[in-house]
Amino acid sequence: MASTPAQARSLWPLGDSGRPRLRIGEDPDAIRVLTSALDDRIIPNTYVCEGDPVVVEEISGATEDTEAGDADVALPITASVLKPPLLASLLAEHAEVIDVKRDGKEVETTPNATVLNAVLARRSWPKLPVLHRIISTPVLRRDGTLLQDPGYDQATGYYLAGNQHLGRVPEQPTKAEVAESREFLLDRFLRDFPWRSDADRANYLALLVTPLIRPYTRALSPFGMIEASMPGSGKTILAGCVGLMVGQRVLTWTDSEEELRKAITTVLADSVGVIVFDNLAEGSMVNSAVLARLVTERNWTDRRLGTNAAANFINDRLWLATGNNLRTGGDMASRSVWVRLDPNCPRPEARTGFTIPNLDSWILDPGNRATVLRHVLILILDWTNNGAPTAAQVPQMRQFTPWATHLGGFLEHHQIGGFLTNAESVRELDEEDSEWRSFLMAWDDVHGDVRLTSQQLRQSGEPTGGTDPWAGTFPTDRRGKPLTVKSLGWRLRGQIDRWHGDVVLRSATDSHANSRLWWVERQAL
């Protein structure tokens, strides 16, 4: 078991200043002494993270106040990796490093750079507690108990920053407290958002709860799409409520896979709980192989920017995007959960009569955020105190099915219906799926179940007599030019046996002609 700072100090004699006294000689001896002292936690609040000794320290000037829900929200404390200058400073603050001269004279000193670099070069610190994350809100431990005491939690490896606005949450909330929390969240806080359906409200609550119970469920969570039909509908408030509670980074969406990869690697080095791609251009399509890989992997490995060293991060964050009239493409359709708003009026920002007036500024107050957080935590504890029941029936979501069963169970326990029932209605928002379905439907109209080679299919895609039997659905390149036979063949290979609604592409090899044949099948749903 790692020693506490107090225990570490007792291992070393105290000097006249009351600080531990470290007597060092020549460089080899200094390296041995300082390495042992650092591993004994001679410096308070030291931990190890990914093999690096770190010190948890407050950030001067950090505040819980923020001017907007779509701004970055950093945590008030950070884990600083020990580098030679910082180690020298902390040693001077917390210890007396005494250089024993050859004549026996003792002089307080600052170890030289060679010694400090040698001490920090090692990757094994067996006595230092392991730090996994710094968090700003209580979370549910694996055993179902609530981590709510500020400081380091050995069971999770998390360090919880203090919150002066959040009182202690009852471990066994009463029925009255549960009823009050449910009433506040459903009938006050979320009441006036123009949800398209009950599913959108239920899905949002699932996303809101996700960062708080992830240490318990250990489940991958899907990508959250918070979408509206009009500006001013409240999507930024919804995303910001989650991020303001657990810390957030707001990123600008990019269609460049390389830039997106770099942004992901950079932001995962932060301790924030939510990453938001805010306010995408209207009508944008979220279609990224990099993002699709990210949300389905428990660990993200990439090259550290500016180095050849590998960086490895646990993917335990919630990823969101907001925008108007968004679409998904590629594999993101099956990796996303939708929250859709529709105010059904020409000027949503002019609406009045809200249960909580000026909610966009109300949520920026740290005390109000603590109120929301407290009510959410009470509902979570009531769920776990009743055995944390899971949902018996939820849509299969591949890697996200454990997430869906836990969150579905939480919502069912509190009689909040509609979770994930909008899955079918948002299929039309999968732009790529819609394009392929239109093409295959046209194929069926033009050729029926006739088997064609890529060349025959490509020839049939040429307009004849000024008419286009494909009605503009035939695949083209990014410039709108017809695909070559080879490119068409490769594009088709990626769709073999993949259903698009009630139509599917089939393929077989013609051994006599040594070519691949293609045809379409339809099936009544």
What are the DSSP calls for 162-228, one per residue? P-TT--PPPSS--HHHHHHHHHHIIIIISTTS-BSSHHHHHHHHHHHHHHHHHHHH----PEEEEEE
285-324 residue pLDDT tens:
888 999 999 999 999 888 766 666 677 888 889 999 999 9
Residue 401 three-state SS: helix
Q: Hey, what are 194's tokens?
A: 């123009």
Residue spans of alpha helices (H) in 386-450 = 401-413, 431-447
pLDDT in tens, 91-102: 999 999 999 877
State the DSSP H helix or E strand holding residue 47, giving kind and residue range, or none if neither.
strand 46-49
pLDDT per residue, tens digit, the chain (525 aa), is 455 555 555 568 888 788 899 999 889 999 999 999 999 999 999 999 988 999 999 887 665 555 555 566 667 888 999 999 999 999 999 999 999 877 778 889 999 999 999 999 999 999 999 999 899 899 999 999 999 999 999 999 999 998 888 999 999 999 999 999 999 999 999 999 999 999 999 999 999 999 999 999 999 999 999 999 888 888 989 998 888 888 889 999 988 999 999 999 988 888 788 999 998 988 888 889 999 999 999 998 887 666 666 778 888 899 999 999 888 887 888 899 999 998 887 777 778 788 998 888 898 898 999 999 999 999 999 999 999 999 988 887 888 999 999 999 999 999 999 999 987 776 655 566 777 888 898 899 899 989 999 999 998 888 776 678 888 889 888 777 878 888 898 889 878 887 877 888 999 988 787 889 999 998 865
pLDDT at position 373, please? 95
d(CA 291, CA 439): 26
Residue 241 belongs to what H/E stretch? helix 235-246
Amino acid identity, position 56: V
* Residue 162: predicted pLDDT: 86
